[in-house]
Amino acid sequence: MIPQTLEELDSIATECKKMTTKAALLSAAGGAIPAPGVDVATDIAILLKLIPKISRKFGLSKEQIDEYDDEFKILIFDLLKKGGAKFVGRYITKELIKAILKRMGIRIAARQVAKYVPILGQGISASISFGAMKIVTNSHINDCYEVAKELIETNKSK
């Protein structure tokens, strides 16, 4: 269900940001492992679970949106088109996650190269992993927040 007040919305955003910090730490751990590909596989697994969880918290998962009445669905999809949200209201697939990670290609390439520098490289790779995960997940939180905020404001004006 969509949050009903801005206070509730802020509380959900705070809770989701805590979840993303934990996820970013897991991503950093995967980034520190010197084996090629482990970090990307770790990131995909994390995002496949975390992105839908965040959407559900805001009442904006694909399944939740499907249950809303038609007028409300149209309002949500209009807001999504206007805001350009990448994950909101979509089924999250491995291919979608890979596409997002490809857009972050420079960071991922730097992370892979850094792994080959003994000791220091693994720390750099872990730092890049942490930062990249925070960017992707915080961006999704912000998208969900903005859509939910618009819905709250629209409902108040009715």
> What count of residues does the chain have?
158
- Residue-wise pLDDT for 17-60, tens only, equals 999 999 999 998 887 777 767 777 888 889 999 999 999 999 99
**Residue 125: domain span:** 6-157
Residue 18 has a CB neighbour count (10 Å cut-off) of 10
Q: How far apart are CA 126 and CA 121, in angstroms?
A: 8
Rg (CA), the chain: 17
Residues 6+ apart with CB under 8 A from 119: none
Percent of the chain clearing pLDDT 90 (strictly above): 32
Q: Does residue 25 belong to any structural domain of this protein? A: yes
Q: How far apart are CA 51 and CA 72, in angstroms?
A: 22
- Range with lowest mean pLDDT among 18-22, 90-94, 123-127: 90-94
Q: Is the pLDDT of residue 10 over 90?
A: yes
Q: Does residue 104 belong to any structural domain of this protein? A: yes
Q: How many domains does the chain have?
A: 1
Torsion of CA 36, 39, 45, 46, to 10 degrees: 180
Q: Does residue 1 belong to any structural domain of this protein? A: no
Q: What is the mean pLDDT of the chain?
A: 82
| Side chain identity, residue 140 | H
Q: Which is more confident, 54 or 97?
A: 54
What does pTM read for this prediction?
A: 0.82
Q: How far apart are CA 119 and CA 149, in angstroms?
A: 45
- Residue-wise pLDDT for 138-156, tens only, equals 989 999 999 999 999 887 7
Q: Is the pLDDT of residue 157 over 70?
A: no
Q: Does residue 152 belong to any structural domain of this protein? A: yes
Which range of 87-91, 92-96, 128-132 scores highest in mean pLDDT? It is: 128-132
